[in-house]
């Protein structure tokens, strides 16, 4: 993983239910962010059929995988749009692994840091403090 520069880095902080996206700017500047939440969590189950050969996968596992795929698409777009800036991924270890499995190799090369921590529930100032401490070289 590459060294971090102070600006132009997109930070994705996620768990299985929501993701926050921030752009790292100069120290002390407000980091405007967007919040992405998982929708369609409740499945009715009507019309769902399984065969004996299919693996047992719950609706929750399927929803988590789809959400990770959506975040992976956003990470890929951010990695391709920011030339030289890079991407930082912050998620609980299990979800980070799921997210990583949906990222293409070209995007993984632009990930400058991964933090296996669940920080999505923190307020923006607390999150900025934790990220600043964790992202110091």
Q: How do residues 34-75 score in pLDDT, each as one tens digit?
A: 555 555 333 334 445 555 666 677 888 889 999 999 999 999
Of 9, 3, 29, nearest in space to 128 by CA: 29
> What pLDDT does residue 82 have?
65
Q: Are the beta carbons of 7 and 85 closer than 8 angstroms?
A: yes
Q: Which two tokens stand for residue 52?
A: 């004996």
> What pLDDT does residue 119 have?
92
Angle between helices 59-81 and 93-101 (to 10 degrees): 70
> Domain 9-38+58-134 is of which CATH architecture?
2-Layer Sandwich (3.30)
- Beta strand 87-91 pairing with 9-14: parallel
Q: What is the reported pTM?
A: 0.75
């Amino acid at each position: 993983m590459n060294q971090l520069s102070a600006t132009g880095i997109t930070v994705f902080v996620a768990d299985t239910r929501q993701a926050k996206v921030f752009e790292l700017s100069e120290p002390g500047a407000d980091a405007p962010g967007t919040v992405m939440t998982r929708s369609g969590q409740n499945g009715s189950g009507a019309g769902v059929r399984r065969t004996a050969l299919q693996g047992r996968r719950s609706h929750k596992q399927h929803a988590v995988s789809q959400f990770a795929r959506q975040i992976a698409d956003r990470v890929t777009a951010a990695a391709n749009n920011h030339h030289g800036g890079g991407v930082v991924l912050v998620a609980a270890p299990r979800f980070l692994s799921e997210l990583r499995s949906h990222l293409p190799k070209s995007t993984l090369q632009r990930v400058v840091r991964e933090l296996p921590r669940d920080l999505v529930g923190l307020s923006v100032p607390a999150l900025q403090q934790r990220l600043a401490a964790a992202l110091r070289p």
